[in-house]
Homo-oligomer: A and B are copies of this chain.
Amino acid sequence: MSGTLTRKQREIKEREAKILELARGMIVQDGYHGLSMDRIAEALEYSKGTIYQHFSCKEEILMALVNQAMERRLELFRRAAAFRGRSRERMSAIGAACDLFFRLYPDDVHIEHAIRITSIKEKASEQRRLCLERCEASCSELVRGVIYDAVAAGDLELDDDFSVEQLTFGLWSITFGGHSIAASSPSLTNLGIPDPMTAIRNNCNRLLDGSGWKPLSHELDLDTLIGRIQREVFAPEVAQLSQQGQAAAQETGAGRARRD
């Protein structure tokens, strides 16, 4: 008996991970309908009953996945908020975290979006629902914290009509809405948005400018700032990303051959 878990318990945990892994793929490939308990059981060579011993319904699986996703996001946000710099630079760091999260875990973003339409939360257990709400609250709490600091430092003034919470909500709306539209409107290029990510970043910065958050974006060298953040806060993630990029380039043959 190694560790605190019995062999059986470890087996069960491993199986649960396998279920989630498989389910993630299914959802990402064919959306919510692609997720089938029957097919999970078949693929894992267990009976359906066993799968239902792990998750009492489809929705529970989705909630488990979204909780994983939000915890990953939260971790990136935490590190971003801890970036040492002026308040607006720290907010840029959170923006960079969003960017990175999307590029590192596109599937997670997909799942975060999927949870919102179908009436999943109602069917899922209280426990999982609360976990999700806590994650959500933590994320927005981090953003709010940075905005509060900006106000405290005198970099930002907000009146009664426009609260810290409203600005938080605005940034959230732009990023969430932007990604959601981009994912579901493939014809965005025709509409003049070839690169939604840049558009989202620009819009966030204009919103912050419009709120009077100093230094304004034209007073900052945003590109070098993002570079610094990537080096100082997200070095491992950026490395991972560039590795993936290289691998993908080699696979598709898009990268230049070495021996020419």
Contacts of A166 in B (CB 8 A): 192-193, 198-199, 202-203
Contacts of A181 in B (CB 8 A): 116, 169, 172-173, 176
A21 interface residue (CB < 8 Å to B): no
Query: Are A203 and B207 in contact (CB-based, < 8 A)?
Result: yes
Q: List the one stretch of A41-49, A183-191, A239-247 in contact with chain B.
A: A183-191
Contacts of A192 in B (CB 8 A): 144, 163-166, 168
C-alpha gap A203/B183 in the complex (Å): 23
Query: Are A191 and B119 in contact (CB-based, < 8 A)?
Result: no
Contacts of A165 in B (CB 8 A): 191-193, 199
Query: Are B207 and A206 in contact (CB-based, < 8 A)?
Result: yes
C-alpha gap A10/B221 in the complex (Å): 65
Interface of chain A residues 229 through 248 with chain B (CB within 8 A) = none
Contacts of A32 in B (CB 8 A): 117-118
A87 interface residue (CB < 8 Å to B): no
**Given contacts A32-B117, A169-B188, A170-B206, could you give 16 more A-B pairs where the C-beta distance is less than 8 Å?**
A30-B119, A114-B117, A117-B118, A133-B187, A137-B191, A144-B192, A165-B191, A165-B199, A166-B199, A168-B191, A169-B191, A172-B181, A173-B174, A173-B177, A173-B178, A206-B210
Closest 3 CB pairs of A and B: A177-B177, A165-B192, A210-B210
Contacts of A251 in B (CB 8 A): none
Given contacts A174-B173, A177-B172, A181-B176, whether A113 and B117 have CB atoms under 8 Å apart is: yes
Q: List 12 A-B contacts (CB under 8 A).
A: A31-B118, A32-B118, A118-B118, A136-B191, A137-B191, A166-B203, A169-B196, A170-B178, A170-B203, A174-B174, A205-B210, A208-B210
Query: Are A180 and B176 in contact (CB-based, < 8 A)?
Result: yes
- Residues on A facing B (Cβ under 8 Å): 30-33, 113-119, 121, 133, 136-137, 140, 144, 161-170, 172-178, 180-181, 183-185, 187-188, 190-193, 196, 198-200, 202-203, 205-211
C-alpha gap A119/B35 in the complex (Å): 13
Query: Are B31 and A199 in contact (CB-based, < 8 A)?
Result: no
Contacts of A198 in B (CB 8 A): 166
Q: How far is the CB of A171 from chain B (nearest CB, A)?
A: 9
